[in-house]
């Protein structure tokens, strides 16, 4: 009877870490192993599989075709392991839940607070670790299991190659804001009054910017673009200072007006601001992530 080779998952873990770090030295430091020990463990994995997993290119290790295939399997195996840990940690333990969230720079921070607010109200308490940044960087941290969730204005692009799942949280129209004198001047002729008006717009390529551009093109509106900003909070600060008109989700219009002392003067449902939660798990099991999804239904009802 032929004996099936047994896969040593410690060896697979060491290989996965080395492939991710790109060098034996970096992986050995992260794993707190001697480099010869790490090299020997990976050699044993290669002997088990009967194929080389790395080839050296200068000072850097590159995956062989077999290595790339093994890495994809290893990534999925250890991803499932993290899901298991998260599921177990989600059970009541007497300690607060932890939720690490990455937030796209493009999302309005007031809306992000409203989305995350239900987590703070969970029974037993919860601890939030929130960091913002560009979506590609946040997704890298998600698949490396340094984040539990990424909040974005767009779903995960098809064909991205990232093992993650998009969950629609909701959508709403947008409201336009300006300081009181500007709002009073633009309100009567809205939306045509936006033609040649000084405007603060999201950075090109963002979902909201694409929606605004298409809407204004249809209406023949050509604004005077004063500033393009990737950070939504900074845009509102410019708007508060009177630099120009800006748009924000209608779902948080009251909060925007009160916090930044600006006046809403026009609303459209033809431009949609969408909110997505991207997680490493297809089914939501983490109680804090579940609270975000449930709370979003109320916010965008």
Tell me which of 160 and 1 has the higher pLDDT. Answer: 160
Tokens of 248: 């924000």
For residue 221, the model assigns a pLDDT of 97
Residues 213, 190, 181: CA angle, nearest 5 degrees? 110
Alpha carbon distance 42, 200 (integer Å) = 54
Indicate which CATH number applies to the domain containing 149.
3.40.190.10
Tokens of 130: 């929130």
Q: Let me know whether 256 and 280 are in one domain.
A: no
Q: Let me know whether 31 and 72 are in one domain.
A: yes
Average pLDDT of the chain is 87
In the chain, pLDDT over 70 holds for what percent of residues? 92
Question: Could you tell me which residues come within 8 angstroms of residue 181 by beta carbon, excluding any fewer than 6 positions away?
Answer: none
Domain count for the chain = 3
Q: Let me know whether 283 and 141 are in one domain.
A: yes
Q: Which residues, listed in sequence order, are joined to residue 104 by a DSSP beta bridge?
A: 133
Cα dihedral across residues 228, 232, 233, 238: positive or negative: positive
pLDDT in tens, 181-199: 999 999 999 999 999 999 9
For residue 23, the model assigns a pLDDT of 84
pLDDT in tens, 32-75: 889 889 899 999 999 989 999 998 877 777 888 898 888 888 88
- State the residue range of the domain holding 123: 95-169+276-299
Contact (Cβ atoms closer than 8 angstroms) between residue 111 and residue 292: no
Q: How confident is the model at residue 1 (pLDDT cuts 50, 70, 90)?
A: very low
Residue 3 within any structural domain of the chain:
no
Q: Let me know whether 262 and 186 are in one domain.
A: yes
Lowest pLDDT segment from 71-85, 222-236, 255-269: 71-85
User: What's the mean pLDDT in 205-217?
Assistant: 94
For residue 93, the model assigns a pLDDT of 47
CA-based end-to-end distance of the chain: 63
Lowest pLDDT segment from 42-46, 96-100, 295-299: 96-100
Cα 178 to Cα 212, 254, 257: the distances in Å are: 16, 13, 9
Q: Let me know whether 43 and 60 are in one domain.
A: yes
pLDDT in tens, 112-151: 999 999 998 887 777 888 998 888 889 888 887 788 899 9
């Amino acid at each position: 009877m032929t004996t099936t080779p047994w896969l040593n998952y410690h060896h697979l873990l060491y290989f996965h870490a080395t492939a991710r770090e790109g060098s034996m030295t970096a992986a050995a430091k992260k794993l707190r192993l001697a480099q010869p020990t790490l090299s020997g463990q990976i050699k044993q994995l290669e002997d088990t599989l009967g194929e080389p997993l790395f080839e050296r290119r200068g000072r850097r290790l590159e995956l062989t075709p077999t290595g790339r295939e093994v890495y994809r399997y290893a990534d999925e195996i250890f991803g499932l392991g993290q899901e298991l840990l998260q599921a177990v940690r989600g059970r009541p333990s007497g300690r607060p839940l932890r939720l690490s969230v990455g937030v796209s720079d493009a999302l309005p921070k007031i809306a992000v607070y409203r989305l995350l607010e239900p987590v703070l109200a969970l029974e037993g308490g919860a601890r939030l670790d929130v960091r913002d940044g560009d979506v590609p960087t946040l997704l890298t941290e998600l698949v490396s299991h340094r984040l539990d969730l990424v909040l974005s204005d767009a779903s995960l692009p098809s064909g991205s190659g990232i093992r993650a799942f998009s969950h629609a949280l909701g959508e709403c129209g947008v409201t336009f804001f300006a300081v009181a004198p500007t709002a009073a001047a633009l309100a009567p002729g809205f939306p045509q009054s936006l033609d040649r008006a000084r405007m603060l717009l999201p950075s090109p390529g963002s979902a909201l910017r694409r929606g605004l551009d298409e809407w204004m093109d249809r209406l023949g509106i050509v604004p005077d673009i004063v500033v393009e900003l990737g950070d939504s909070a900074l845009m509102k600060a410019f708007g508060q200072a009177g630099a120009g008109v800006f748009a924000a989700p209608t779902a948080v219009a009251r909060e925007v007006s009160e916090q930044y002392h600006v006046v809403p003067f026009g609303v459209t449902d033809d431009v949609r601001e969408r909110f997505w939660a991207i997680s490493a798990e297809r089914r939501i099991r983490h109680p804090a992530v579940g609270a975000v999804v449930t709370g979003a239904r109320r916010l965008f009802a």
